[in-house]
């Protein structure tokens, strides 16, 4: 078992950088296996009102065992677990999970000082690597073992900050902004919570323009999110009436539809370039 953990740790160090993880994900997609085999019982972990710990249940849906290493970071994706400083940690952090086995882990808050009055965000990483059958470990045939990292959002709400009483949509303001030839939807979030978007699209006349999907479709509390519109050069959103259709992801992972009117603003840089 110790030899397996040492081997697993070595593999993690060789694949620590995000570009290597992206390559692994691309290879998995090309081979037709695009989904993680280890699944969690939720899409987000929420610490409400200063809670100190949360349990997450995992199941290995693969037909083979895997080694799991689990850690919490701030979304860097470029550091090995041993070098990460986080306000959360996981127990147990490294273990073997048999095929179709179910196991619970604990995510614990260290007590580090986090911002008061608003949510803080961390990421739970579930890194899995297949384990070869005993007979295959001594086989000299070349092979590639692909690891897969699944990330789950962790939202920490300090003491006194409860779950939203309703949708946070009422605390969101939207506008369209242009910089040079690119148009963006800008979201201003006046709430104490992260606004997590499942999707967005701008409706202008009888046409719909999708928002380019970004790795992070969240607007931070008391902050601003900027999302590029997939529109051809020459479209003038400042000359037509436009609205935004969007979906927000709630605490349970459900999609909640919303809509808002949009006002177009041309940035000062863009206006200067046109003169």
Q: What are the beta bridge partners of residue 229?
A: 211
Q: Does a structural domain hold residue 230?
A: yes
Question: Average per-residue pLDDT in the chain?
Answer: 82
**Domain CATH code at residue 102:** 2.60.40.10
Q: Does a structural domain hold residue 163?
A: no
Q: Are residues 112 and 73 in the same domain?
A: yes
Q: Does a structural domain hold residue 227?
A: yes
CA 107 to chain CA centroid, nearest Å:
17
Domain termination site, one of 136, 156, 176:
156
Q: Are residues 185 and 262 in the same domain?
A: yes
- Whole-number pLDDT of residue 77: 65
Instruction: Tell me 229's DSSP state.
Output: B
Q: Are residues 113 and 19 in the same domain?
A: yes
176 pLDDT higher than 60: yes
Q: Are residues 127 and 13 in the same domain?
A: yes
Q: Does a structural domain hold residue 249?
A: yes
Q: Are residues 119 and 194 in the same domain?
A: no
Buried b vs exposed e over 77-98: b needs ≥16 C-beta within 10 Å? beeebeeeebbbbbeeebebbe
Structural domain boundaries, residue 122: 2-156
Q: Does a structural domain hold residue 96?
A: yes
Q: Are residues 53 and 148 in the same domain?
A: yes
Q: Does a structural domain hold residue 161?
A: no
Q: Return the ∠ at Cα 261 (arms to 271 and 270), rounded to 5°.
A: 10
CA gap 183, 186 in Å, rounded:
10
User: What is the pLDDT confidence band of residue 25, given thresholds at 50, 70 and 90?
Assistant: very low
Q: Does a structural domain hold residue 162?
A: no
CA gap 256, 265 in Å, rounded:
27
Q: What are the beta bridge partners of residue 166?
A: none
Q: Are residues 175 and 151 in the same domain?
A: no
Q: Are residues 56 and 120 in the same domain?
A: yes
- Whole-number pLDDT of residue 240: 83
Least confident of 10-14, 53-57, 215-219: 10-14
Tens of pLDDT, residue by residue over 58-76, are: 999 999 999 999 999 988 7
Q: Does a structural domain hold residue 192?
A: yes
Q: Are residues 218 and 241 in the same domain?
A: yes
Domain termination site, one of 156, 180, 199:
156
Q: In angstroms, how far is the first alpha carbon of the chain from the final one?
A: 70
Count of the separate structural domains present in the chain: 2
Domain termination site, one of 156, 182, 208:
156
Tens of pLDDT, residue by residue over 108-123, are: 999 999 999 999 999 9
Q: How far lies 104's CA from each of 54, 65, 252, in Å?
A: 10, 16, 19
Q: Are residues 8 and 125 in the same domain?
A: yes
Both tokens of 2, joined, read 């110790």
- Whole-number pLDDT of residue 275: 43
Q: Are residues 194 and 150 in the same domain?
A: no
Q: Are residues 128 and 33 in the same domain?
A: yes
Phi and psi (nearest 5°) for 4? -65, -45
**At a CB cut-off of 8 Å and minimum separation 6, what does 137 contact?**
none
Compute the average pLDDT of residues 131-148: 70
């Amino acid at each position: 078992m110790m030899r397996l953990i040492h081997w697993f740790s070595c593999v993690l160090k060789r694949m620590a950088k995000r570009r290597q993880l992206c390559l692994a994900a691309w290879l998995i997609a090309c081979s037709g296996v695009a989904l993680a085999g280890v699944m969690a019982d939720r899409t987000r972990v929420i610490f409400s009102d200063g809670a100190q710990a949360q349990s997450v249940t995992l199941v290995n849906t693969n037909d083979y065992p895997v080694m799991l290493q689990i850690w919490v970071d701030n979304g860097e994706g470029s550091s090995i677990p041993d070098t990460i400083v986080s306000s959360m940690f996981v127990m147990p952090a490294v273990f073997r999970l048999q095929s179709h086995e179910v196991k619970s882990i604990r995510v614990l808050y260290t007590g580090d000082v986090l911002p008061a009055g608003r949510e803080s965000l961390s990421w739970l990483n579930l890194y899995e690597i297949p384990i070869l059958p005993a007979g295959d470990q001594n086989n000299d045939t070349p092979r590639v073992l692909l690891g897969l990292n699944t990330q789950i959002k962790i939202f920490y709400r300090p003491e006194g900050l409860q779950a939203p009483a309703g949708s946070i949509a009422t605390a969101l303001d939207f506008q369209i902004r242009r910089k040079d030839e690119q148009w963006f939807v800008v979201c201003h979030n006046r709430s104490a919570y992260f606004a997590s978007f499942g999707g967005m699209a701008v409706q202008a006349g009888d046409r719909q323009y999708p928002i380019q999907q970004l790795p992070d479709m969240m607007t931070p509390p008391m902050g601003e999110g900027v999302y590029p519109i997939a529109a051809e050069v020459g479209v003038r959103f400042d000359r037509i009436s436009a609205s935004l259709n969007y979906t927000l992801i709630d605490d349970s992972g459900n999609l909640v539809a919303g809509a808002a009117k949009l006002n177009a603003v041309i940035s000062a840089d863009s206006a200067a370039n046109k003169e």
